[in-house]
Structure 1
Amino acid sequence: MKKTFILLSTVFLFTACQSSTSAADSLLPTPSPVTAIKLKDVSDHWAMTAIEGAAKKGYVDGYEDSTFKPENNVSLAEFIKMVITAIKEPVKSVSSGSDWSSPYVTAAINKGILRESDFSIDKLKDPITRLEMSRISLRATDVTLQNKAIQIDNDSVMYNSAKTGLIQGLEKGALEPNSSTTRAQSVTIIERILKVNHGGTLEIDKYAVGNAELELKHTNIFTVMPHIFGGEQIEKWNPENLTS
């Protein structure tokens, strides 16, 4: 009788432990499988590391022929989708039809990184400009600018984006705000957004900052000689006070 009791107790204890383990396992979040995407046209591209990293994170896709086409232009809608996906902003009712971008645009507006005044619906499929990309990126990294009451003009967008390192200059620090953006460039920018949002700092292109400052303040003395013209003087500077 005693042996039978011990045997039954052992079986009960083993079963209870198994049940407890199964219950605990069922409460654990199921990890999302990461599918390694082998893109055959980025192995010698300057943005290879960023592109492959973006593919692993799941916010960019390759084409059916396993290419990424890094030098193709990216549209405003595509960039919005990539940013929203990268920062893991909730999106409702994603559609695979012709109106696939609508949920991402709505999410971007709700987040405060896009304003309805920033674009027109018929322009969503157009190549995104460096100015538009900078504006979205700046808001995506600055909670203050996500406040719809806060307005920022175009020159300030380019200056602050360059100053934080979100955007680098082209040849000789040229900003070219109205130029289009490639898929490779857009991925690089989004990687910078993620780095800033995780507390990182970015490399600054001083030539781009100088050019942006020149457009905004009609002088770049604050960048060229920060040890002399830094601090509060930057905030007090008003280009309207300049005389010819």
Structure 2
Amino acid sequence: MLLMICTTSVNAATTEQLARPSFELKLNSINNNLVEVSVIGHDLEDLYAYEMNLEFDANRLNFSKASAGTVGYTVVPKAEGNYLKIAHTKVGSVKGDSGDQLLTTLQFSVQRAGNSTITLQNIKLVDSKLNMSSMTPALQETIHAESGISFSDITGHWAEASILKAVDAGFIDGYTDGTFRPKHEVTRAEFAVMFSRALKLDVNESDATFADANQIPAWASSHVQAAVKKRLITGYADHTFRPNAKMSRAEMAAVAVRALGKTQHDVTYVNEFTDASDFSSWSKPFIHEAVESSIMQGIGNNRFSPNTNVTRAEAVTVILNVLRN
């Protein structure tokens, strides 16, 4: 029956028949991180089966399930990217539904806070005589919700607020076990991905090559290329990128300052740190600008610790500071 919806062998409905039904998207509830949206049909006439296509913001919402509002068989809903397809049919020789009828209730979990939309783009209707009609309601419901995201290992952490803001902004995620792991050290590939996502760099153009390009993970490759193309992050003299090497605080300062477009070369603040002798010559102007611009600061005891590895908490904090500037 559902296959017949997509075939050309069914009878076409008349224009008068198409004009009668109307549809409604209704936001039912937002409980914690769960959103429910109903699709309701009005002035239906002998609706035996339907197929509907919806669009939603997959960056903020994750489709969970669909519940049919009428008795029958529902094909397992298919979500691809921002698009969701739902098909349902009655079974056997029975009349279709008429009048007002709840067709389906959709459940989404909120991944990131903010405004997001759900749009009913089009719907195909089939009556009990296998007549088919199509409509394009283009109905849209706007949802504003808090993400409800929490992590088991950041309560009371000095970067808790920044971590939650970074997750809501979409440039970093937690782990499947419900942790964020704020003390986990960041690789150069991971930092490039975070920075690229935060600045919304164009990842469609890639022309940078490295001798160790085959070591760059597939999930990071386009972001690494985008960051290199913008000259935010560089490789090494031996033409390698070293994606799995840990990101140092000096390297993070360089990326942050380049993103701000800073070109000065003062080293005043650098000389005030007690570990200034540990600074390489190339890093001194970047560290100075990062400190002067309040993008980074020392780690205590008047030390900057340029060669210390960057943690996830430090990375998101610095990236948010860059975005504020």
* TM-score relative to the length of structure 1: 0.60
1:43 and 1:119 map into 2 onto residues whose CA distance is 43
Which of 225, 231, 252 is 1:112 aligned to?
Answer: 231
Report the equivalent of 2:189. 77
For 2:310, the aligned partner's letter is T
Report the equivalent of 2:85. none
Report the equivalent of 1:217. none
How far off is 1:38 after superposition? 2.2
Residue deviations 1:34-64 (CA, integer Å, cap 9, x gap) = 5133222112211000000001111111111
Residue deviations 1:91-141 (CA, integer Å, cap 9, x gap) = 1399xx933222111101111212334786462111100010000011111
For 1:87, the aligned partner's letter is L
Residue deviations 1:160-191 (CA, integer Å, cap 9, x gap) = 11111111101123111111111101110001
1:167 and 1:118 map into 2 onto residues whose CA distance is 26
Which of 155, 160, 164 is 1:52 aligned to?
Answer: 164
For 1:155, the aligned partner's letter is K
For 1:49, the aligned partner's letter is A
Q: Any conservation in 1 of the 2:235–2:241 contact (CA below 8 Å)?
A: no
1:182 and 1:159 map into 2 onto residues whose CA distance is 21
Equivalent position SS for 1:176: coil
Structure 1: which 5+ residue stretches go unaligned? Answer: 1-14, 19-28, 146-151, 197-244
Q: Any conservation in 1 of the 2:256–2:319 contact (CA below 8 Å)?
A: yes
RCO higher in structure (CA 8 A, sep ≥6): 1
Going from structure 1 to structure 2, the CA distance change for 1:118 and 1:38 (only over 3 Å counts) comes to farther
Considering fraction of residues, name the structure with more strand: 2
2:197 and 2:237 map into 1 onto residues whose CA distance is 20
Superposition misfits of 4+ residues, deviation over 6 angstroms: none
Q: Any conservation in 1 of the 2:159–2:313 contact (CA below 8 Å)?
A: yes
Q: How does 1:1-244 map to 2 (within 5 A)?
A: 32-33=59-60, 35=111, 36=147, 37-92=149-204, 98-117=217-236, 121=240, 123-142=242-261, 153-196=282-325
Q: What is the identity percentage for the equivalent residue pairs of Structure 1 and Structure 2?
A: 28
Going from structure 1 to structure 2, the CA distance change for 1:181 and 1:119 (only over 3 Å counts) comes to farther
**Which structure has the bigger radius of gyration?**
2
Q: Any conservation in 1 of the 2:249–2:310 contact (CA below 8 Å)?
A: yes
Q: Any conservation in 1 of the 2:262–2:289 contact (CA below 8 Å)?
A: no
Equivalent position SS for 1:172: coil
Structure 2: which 5+ residue stretches go unaligned? Answer: 1-18, 23-54, 62-110, 112-146, 207-215, 265-280
1:90 and 1:47 map into 2 onto residues whose CA distance is 29
Aligned residues: 163
For 1:178, the aligned partner's letter is N
Considering fraction of residues, name the structure with more helix: 1
1:118 and 1:110 map into 2 onto residues whose CA distance is 17
Equivalent position SS for 1:55: helix
2:195 and 2:237 map into 1 onto residues whose CA distance is 16
2:220 and 2:237 map into 1 onto residues whose CA distance is 16
Q: Any conservation in 1 of the 2:184–2:312 contact (CA below 8 Å)?
A: yes
